[in-house]
């Protein structure tokens, strides 16, 4: 049986969810709490396999509690359950190491399924959350190149150096060309990118994934 600990500040929800989880024969509800300040103590006492964690709670947020838990017990799986569906919360939860993200749902079956999946080493994301994660993922990698700009090999090289924060002198050294040549290349780069300063060029280069 999967040992589960629940954190949820809303009394009604906590009690109904507890009752439901306790009635499942694959889950052993080891404890349920309204406050995550005692999270580490709860872990130590109940050593759960999976923690079902609300985000919005008084005193300390579920994400903060999860960070604490993961620091001490990296093997405990944490399943976030919340009403928040905005990118910011999703992002923070994922970065903090959440093993799943379930949107609060009147249908309690999904909790069981999510807990089982997470316990088995997978992750569970509610469909809307999954869609947002995929969208975030895509926007990171799918380049948008409305204006296709061609930089020569040398120009890319120089731009690459600029991104690394190198000065003209350092670039000249690194590329084994004269200072004045670097100057020329950068003039051309600025012309092509329609910018007129190094920071702008760097931002544009990163945005367009030119380098």
Partner DNA sequence: CAAAAAATCCCCAATATTGGGGAGAAAAAA
Partner DNA sequence: TTTTTTCTCCCCAATATTGGGGATTTTTTG
- Contact residues toward a copy of itself (CB under 8 A) are 91, 94-95, 97-100, 117-118, 120-128, 130-131, 133-134, 136-138, 140-142, 145, 162-165, 167, 195, 197-203, 206
Q: What's the length of the chain?
A: 211
Does residue 67 bind DNA (CB under 7 A)? no
Q: What is the b/e burial string over 75-85, where b = at least 16 CB atoms within 10 angstroms of the residue's CB?
A: ebbbbbbbebe
User: Does residue 198 touch DNA according to CB under 7 A?
Assistant: yes
Pair 64, 71: CB distance under 8 Å: no
Stretch that binds DNA, among 60-68, 106-114, 122-130, 184-192 (CB under 7 A): 184-192
The residue among 29 and 162 lying less far from DNA, judged by its C-beta, is 162
Whether the CB-CB separation of 112 and 133 falls below 8 Å is answered with no
Per CB under 7 A, the segment of 25-33, 52-60, 62-70, 148-156 that binds DNA is 148-156
The encoded tokens of residue 60 equal 């300390």
91-99, 108-116, 123-131, 174-182 -> range binding DNA (CB under 7 A): 174-182
Residue 148 C-beta: closest distance to DNA, Å? 13
Residue 163 is a binding residue for DNA (CB under 7 A): no
Residues that bind DNA (rule: CB under 7 A) add up to a total of 23
Closest to 157 (Cα-Cα) out of 171, 170, 147, 167: 171
57: left (phi > 0), else alpha (psi -120 to 50), else beta?
A: beta
Q: Closer to a copy of itself at the Cβ: 177 or 203?
A: 203
**What distance lies between CA 19 and its chain's CA centroid?**
32
Cβ–Cβ contacts within 10 Å for residue 56, how many? 14
Query: What residues make contact with DNA under the rule CB under 7 A?
Result: 150, 152-155, 167-169, 175, 177-181, 183-187, 190, 196-198
């Amino acid at each position: 049986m999967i040992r589960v600990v629940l954190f949820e500040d809303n009394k009604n929800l906590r009690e109904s969810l507890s009752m439901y989880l306790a009635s499942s024969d694959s889950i052993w509800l080891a404890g349920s709490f309204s406050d995550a300040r005692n999270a580490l103590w709860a872990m130590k006492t109940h050593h759960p396999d999976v923690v079902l964690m609300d985000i919005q709670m008084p005193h300390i947020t579920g994400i903060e509690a999860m960070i604490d838990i993961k620091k001490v017990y990296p093997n405990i799986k944490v399943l976030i359950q919340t009403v928040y569906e905005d990118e910011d919360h999703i992002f923070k939860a994922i970065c903090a190491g959440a093993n799943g993200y379930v949107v609060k749902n009147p249908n309690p079956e999904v909790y069981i399924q999510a807990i089982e999946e997470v316990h088995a080493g997978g992750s569970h994301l509610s469909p809307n959350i999954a869609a947002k994660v995929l969208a975030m993922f895509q926007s990171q990698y799918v380049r948008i190149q409305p204006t296709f700009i061609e930089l020569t090999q040398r120009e890319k090289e120089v731009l690459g150096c600029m991104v690394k924060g190198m000065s003209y002198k350092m670039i000249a050294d690194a590329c084994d060309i004269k200072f004045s040549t670097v100057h020329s290349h950068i003039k051309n780069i600025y012309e092509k990118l329609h910018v007129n300063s190094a920071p702008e060029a760097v931002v544009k280069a990163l945005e367009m994934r030119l380098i």
